[in-house]
């Protein structure tokens, strides 16, 4: 039976030869050539999952795929995803500017987020963003004011909280009633009235919700579609406004460890399209915003192992040259990962160790109690499924340079994000004259 790309731990092209190979490239050679920590993106895997989404929903006929750029936003990644027929869900002017400079059709870009600034709104209008997802009353008033000043009419969706709580980490739930995102259902009439009667430079096209991330329960999507469709019908009845667009967000889970069992993209497509047919008599435009499930599996991170510590009658800690600054998810979410020793990929796994980061925090642990071949300083550790929310959440904690990123395909590797230098670290520092 075929396995969906998001149901794999390793990239599609991962091979066991004398070392671990990805995209036809020896990962040990990549570590030696580019240094570590190193983010690696497998182009075949990335394109494969994009095509699974397009194929899965093709029978619905009126679907707009919007990659959630917050998962990983670089110029090269954006170029690849756009070439596969995706638009972009963005949440900052930095993400908007990245896709703009990458040559993306800006009409296919949605601007999301709960506290867009005036500068961001003005620049988004300048760059021609196709949709705004309006999150709150303040934003609606501000967006209308700026649009009026610029003599523009802005196509918008209203983001609402549908009251659905998914079984995921509290920090990545976004659709429950007690959330910082979106309008509560009880507030919809008020904002629709304002748009209809006062905010003449806003054109309401549809509604938007996002119920969370790393979701394994497809019923959550079924419930979301039911709530959104019924709300659209209620708005038509109460306000005489025909809405045609429904954005159900993203959130499909991926397989970080053998204990994870996410549904496939085709399973998601079946649930969403059947729910739309059940609750809607019309073929509305559906926006879908996958992020993690698009980019996560294609990415791995390579580290070099350094020191180790055996606690008497306790754990053995093995330290790598990265950690919470290039992957904060274990510290933030208690996220779990799978890893291999790339240069010992054929050796038996007989040593239980805990992979520790290099940063000055006791909580800087990447993987607890993983069984690997006997580790030594200089070994190359490959952590799988790190494409999403690793680089995008990376920091310069302890004043350490951010890693490089390479794209691999057909035995070729290309730098797509350069490693930061020491001069990069201090490039925005300044010393007042009075301190000289």
- Residues contacting residue 272 through CB under 8 Å, at least 6 positions apart: 57, 60, 221, 225, 248, 286, 288
The count of other CB atoms within 10 Å of the CB of residue 180 is 10
3-state DSSP call for residue 202? strand
For residue 202, give Cα distances in angstroms to 89, 138, 145.
19, 14, 10
Residue 114's H or E segment, with its range, is none
* Rg from Cα positions in the chain: 23
Closest listed residue to residue 408, CA positions, set 382, 389, 377, 430 = 382
Please tell me the distance from the alpha carbon of residue 304 to that of residue 104, in angstroms, as a whole number: 36
166 in active site = no
3-state DSSP call for residue 217? coil
Dihedrals φ, ψ of 210, to 5°? -140, 120
Classify the phi-psi angles of 234: left when phi > 0, otherwise alpha if psi is within -120 to 50, otherwise beta.
alpha
- Residues contacting residue 114 through CB under 8 Å, at least 6 positions apart: 135, 136, 180, 181, 182
For residue 286, give Cα distances in angstroms to 27, 207, 246, 275, 283.
40, 10, 5, 12, 9
The answer to whether 206 touches 285, Cβ cutoff 8 Å, is: yes
Q: Between β-strands 20-22 and 412-417, what pairing exists: parallel, antiparallel or unpaired?
A: unpaired
Which token pair is 32? 């030696």
Please tell me the distance from the alpha carbon of residue 4 to that of residue 270, in angstroms, as a whole number: 14
Helices (H), 215-264: 219-239
Find the catalytic residue in 25, 50, 73, 360.
Answer: 360
Q: Please list the active-site residues.
A: 360
């Amino acid at each position: 039976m075929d396995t969906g790309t998001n149901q794999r731990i390793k990239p599609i092209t991962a091979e066991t030869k004398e070392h671990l190979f990805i995209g036809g490239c020896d990962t040990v050679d990549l570590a030696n050539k580019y240094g570590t920590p190193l983010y690696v993106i497998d182009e075949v895997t990335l394109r494969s999952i994009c095509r699974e989404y397009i194929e899965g929903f093709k029978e619905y006929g009126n679907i707009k795929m919007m990659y959630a750029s917050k998962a990983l936003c670089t110029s090269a990644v954006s170029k690849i995803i756009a070439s596969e027929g995706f638009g972009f869900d963005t949440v900052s002017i930095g993400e908007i500017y990245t896709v703009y400079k990458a040559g993306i059709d800006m009409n296919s870009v949605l601007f999301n987020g709960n506290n867009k600034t005036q500068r961001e709104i003005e620049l988004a209008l300048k760059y021609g963003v196709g949709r705004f997802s309006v999150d709150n009353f303040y934003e609606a008033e501000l967006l209308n004011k700026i649009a009026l000043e610029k003599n523009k009419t802005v196509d918008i969706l209203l983001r609402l909280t549908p009251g659905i709580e998914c079984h995921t980490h509290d920090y990545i739930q976004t659709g429950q009633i007690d959330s910082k995102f979106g309008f509560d259902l009880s507030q919809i009439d008020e904002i629709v009235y304002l748009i209809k009667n006062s905010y003449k430079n806003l054109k309401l096209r549809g509604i938007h919700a996002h119920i969370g991330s790393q979701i394994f329960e497809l019923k959550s999507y079924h419930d979301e579609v039911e709530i959104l469709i019924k709300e659209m019908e209620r708005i038509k009845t109460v306000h005489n406004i025909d809405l045609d667009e429904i954005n159900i967000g993203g959130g499909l889970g991926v397989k970080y460890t053998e204990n994870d069992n996410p549904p496939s993209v085709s399973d998601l497509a079946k649930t969403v399209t059947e729910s739309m047919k059940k609750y809607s008599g019309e073929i509305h435009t559906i926006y879908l915003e996958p992020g993690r499930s698009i980019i996560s599996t294609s990415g791995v991170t390579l580290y070099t192992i350094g020191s180790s510590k055996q606690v008497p009658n306790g754990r053995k800690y093995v330290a790598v040259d990265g950690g919470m600054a290039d992957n904060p998810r274990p510290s933030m979410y208690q996220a779990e990962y799978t890893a291999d020793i790339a240069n010992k990929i054929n050796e038996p796994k007989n040593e239980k160790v805990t992979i520790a980061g290099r940063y000055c925090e006791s909580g800087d642990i990447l993987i607890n109690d993983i069984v690997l071949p006997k580790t030594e300083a200089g070994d190359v550790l490959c952590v799988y499924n790190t494409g999403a929310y690793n680089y995008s959440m990376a920091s310069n904690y302890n004043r350490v340079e951010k890693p490089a990123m390479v794209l691999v395909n057909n035995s070729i590797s290309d730098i797509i994000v350069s490693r930061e230098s020491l001069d990069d670290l201090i490039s925005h520092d300044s010393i007042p004259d009075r301190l000289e």
